[in-house]
């Protein structure tokens, strides 16, 4: 219905005449009421939009606050883990989505050549160190 009626600006002259108690034509009153109603509806519509925007901003601010707290806690946990890792013989190992606590062994690493015989020799040496198991 509002789309069919042409938009009119608020008529300050008619408003002043009504407030002063002067005589105003019926057509001027109808026009004034239609313009006032349209302005009121626009203001209420804008108020609703602003309320939705303010609620969204408040929600996002709360999310940002929670994410910031989670990030700070994760950074503290990571720092604590790094500090402990250098002072402990235990370490965390993650495989297949499962994290486990494992004892760190002193291991010296010597690179070997990239052929199958060297890998077999390394496996044989490990078996011999373990006690001569046949595998």
pLDDT digits (tens, 9 = 90+) for 85-107: 666 766 677 777 777 777 666 66
Mean pLDDT, range 28-54, rounded to an integer? 88
pTM tops 0.85: no
CA geometry: angle 14, 3, 6, nearest 5 deg: 35
- pLDDT averaged over every residue in the chain: 78
Whether residue 24 contacts residue 14, with contact meaning beta carbons closer than 8 Å, is answered with yes
Tokens of 132: 């001569």
Query: Which ranges in 21-131 belong to alpha helices (H)?
Result: 26-85, 116-130
Query: Which ranges in 86-113 belong to alpha helices (H)?
Result: none
| Predicted local confidence at residue 123, as pLDDT | 77
Strand partners, 95: 98
Rounded (10°) angle between helices 12-20 and 26-85:
110
Q: Classify residue 94 by its DSSP letter.
A: E
Burial degree of 99 (CB within 10 A; 0-12, 13-18, 19+): exposed
| Predicted local confidence at residue 104, as pLDDT | 67
| Predicted local confidence at residue 47, as pLDDT | 94
Comparing 62-66, 71-75, 99-103, the range with the smallest average pLDDT is: 99-103
* Structure-model confidence comparison of residues 50 and 112, the more confident one: 50
Q: Cβ atoms within 10 A of the Cβ of 14, count? A: 19
CA-nearest of 83, 101, 85 to 93 is: 101
């Amino acid at each position: 219905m509002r789309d069919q009626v042409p938009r009119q600006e608020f008529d300050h002259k008619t408003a002043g005449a009504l407030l002063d108690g002067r005589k105003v034509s019926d057509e001027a009153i109808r026009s004034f009421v239609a313009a006032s109603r349209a302005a009121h509806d626009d203001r209420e519509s804008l108020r609703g939009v602003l309320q939705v925007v303010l609620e969204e901003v408040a929600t996002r601010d709360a999310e940002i606050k929670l994410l910031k707290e989670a990030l700070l806690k994760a950074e503290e946990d990571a720092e604590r883990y790094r500090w402990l890792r250098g002072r402990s013989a235990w370490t965390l190992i993650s495989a297949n989505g499962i994290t486990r606590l494992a004892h760190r062994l002193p291991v010296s690493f010597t690179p070997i050549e990239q052929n199958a015989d060297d890998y077999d020799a390394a496996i044989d040496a490990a078996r011999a160190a373990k006690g001569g198991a046949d595998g």
